[in-house]
Amino acid sequence: MGMTMTQKILASHAGLESVTAGQLIEADLDLVLGNDITSPVAIKEMDKMKLDSVFDKDKIALVPDHFVPNKDIKSAEHCKCVREFALKNNITNYFEVGEMGIEHALLPEKGLTVAGDVIIGADSHTCTYGALGAFSTGVGSTDMAAGMATGKAWFKVPSAIKFNITGKFNEYVTGKDLILHIIGMIGVDGALYRSMEFVGDGIKNLSMDDRFTIANMAIEAGAKNGIFPVDDLTISYLKEHSKREYKVFSADPDAVYDEEYTIDLGTLKPTVAFPHLPENTKTIDEIKEKIMIDQVVIGSCTNGRIDDLRIAAKLLKGRHIKKGMRLIVLPATQEIYLTAIEEGLVRTFIEAGGVVSTPTCGPCLGGYMGVLAAGEKCVSTTNRNFVGRMGDVTSEIYLASPAVAAESAVKGYIAAPGY
């Protein structure tokens, strides 16, 4: 029986010739990731182990990104805990304020994640690195602690769903619309503990930023991971960003998939996930009423990359957000922030009436920099719209692409360019 791409990577890291869905394995890890919220719990577990050091100071990444720069005393204590642990263990890839970014944008940018890797992170959106042909998945803080101590993790080998991507996007339709379409189609548990494997001749029409967005939100369909084939665009990205060796794995022709779907990119329209689940989707032409909004957020580990900011700025150039509207833009890393300044995107956002913040997860999880009051509605390029996710439990979050977010900020209600 053939193996999927994910199964081949796991077999390689478990030292096995082959694995099958449902099999329990112990695999070597190429990277263990934690942030300022999840790392302190893992560090406390590490302390209980009475170890002299971590398994490999070069294979751990600690990225304060959720509440930084610190928003209060508690967040300052969390970051202090991470900082002291990083210095004590001489962690190579510790990113302090000023050199940090949102973890899932920062690590690929720094070349710490490459094709063929097995990566765990104490954050559910660690599945982002599947865009590069890696197996990456979120774990709990205790598993993170075990990973930092041993360099290994236990996995149940996932079965897979194949998504055959064809065609090409129409203007202002992006990877965010594709993944929202998929989640709307299969549901938030439609890929539960399975691998979402994306293939097909349409893949070549997806930018790397599209792929990062799609892989990032695989978890919103319940998936263990999302993964893309390694093509010329992937290799070009890896060569630009990383000095590490990478390994290309491909699914066997006779690999077994639980389900298969074919999606023509040319048929997709701007898509919005209504409260309070990512599966509650509507295309822009299915929204019959004017849904007035109070705030727009453009950023996060899902849509805070440079392509996202360019799309938003293109739509905001020479325009102004509606009176009473709040527009918050969060570049995902310092490098993206600098590029946005150099290209004039930051000026465009400010002249349009928006504010631009240092890289942070900020309002995505109701942290700060845009928490919602009772009854307020927000169009956000983030990845979750659960009850109370960004503030008061009576507030509402509408997930959308940067194009929809920017157009909505100008109109004052949910809108998409050209519609």
Q: What is the DSSP string of 259-277?
A: EEEEEEGGG---EEEPTT-
Are residues 167 and 253 both part of a single domain? Answer: yes
CB atoms within 10 A of CB 289: 7
Three-class DSSP labels, 344-385? CHHHHHHHCCCEECCCCCHHHHCCCCCCECCCCEEEECCCCC
Model pLDDT for residues 276-294, shown as the tens digit of each residue: 999 999 999 999 899 999 9
Distance of CA 270 to the CA centre of its chain: 19
Q: Scanning the structure block, which residue is given the tokens 């290799």? A: 235
Model pLDDT for residues 145-187, shown as the tens digit of each residue: 999 999 999 999 999 999 999 999 999 999 999 999 999 999 9
Model pLDDT for residues 341-363, shown as the tens digit of each residue: 999 999 999 999 999 999 999 99
Are residues 277 and 249 both part of a single domain? Answer: no
Residue 419 within any structural domain of the chain: no
Are residues 124 and 182 both part of a single domain? Answer: yes
Pairing of strands 135-138, 396-399: unpaired
pLDDT at 52: 81
Q: Is the pLDDT of residue 106 over 90?
A: yes
Model pLDDT for residues 241-280, shown as the tens digit of each residue: 999 999 999 999 999 999 999 999 999 999 999 999 999 9
Tell me what the mean pLDDT of segment 55-66 comes to.
96
pLDDT at 23: 97
Are residues 19 and 108 both part of a single domain? Answer: yes
Structural domains in the chain (count) = 2
Are residues 258 and 398 both part of a single domain? Answer: no
Q: Is the pLDDT of residue 109 over 90?
A: yes
Are residues 297 and 380 both part of a single domain? Answer: yes
| Percent of the chain scoring above 70 in pLDDT | 100
Residue 417 within any structural domain of the chain: no
The partner residues of 119 in beta bridges, in order of sequence, read 31, 136
pLDDT at 263: 97
Tell me what the mean pLDDT of segment 183-209 comes to.
96
Residue 416 within any structural domain of the chain: no
1: pLDDT confidence band, cut at 50, 70 and 90? confident
Are residues 193 and 128 both part of a single domain? Answer: yes
- Average pLDDT of the chain is 96
Q: Is the pLDDT of residue 47 over 90?
A: no
| Percent of the chain scoring above 90 in pLDDT | 95
416 to each of 166, 326, 408, 412, 413, how far by Cα in Å? 23, 18, 7, 11, 10
Round to whole Å and give the CA distance between 6 and 133. Answer: 9
Residue ranges making up the domain that contains 84: 5-263
Model pLDDT for residues 295-336, shown as the tens digit of each residue: 999 999 999 999 999 999 999 999 999 999 999 999 999 999
Tell me what the mean pLDDT of segment 370-399 comes to.
95
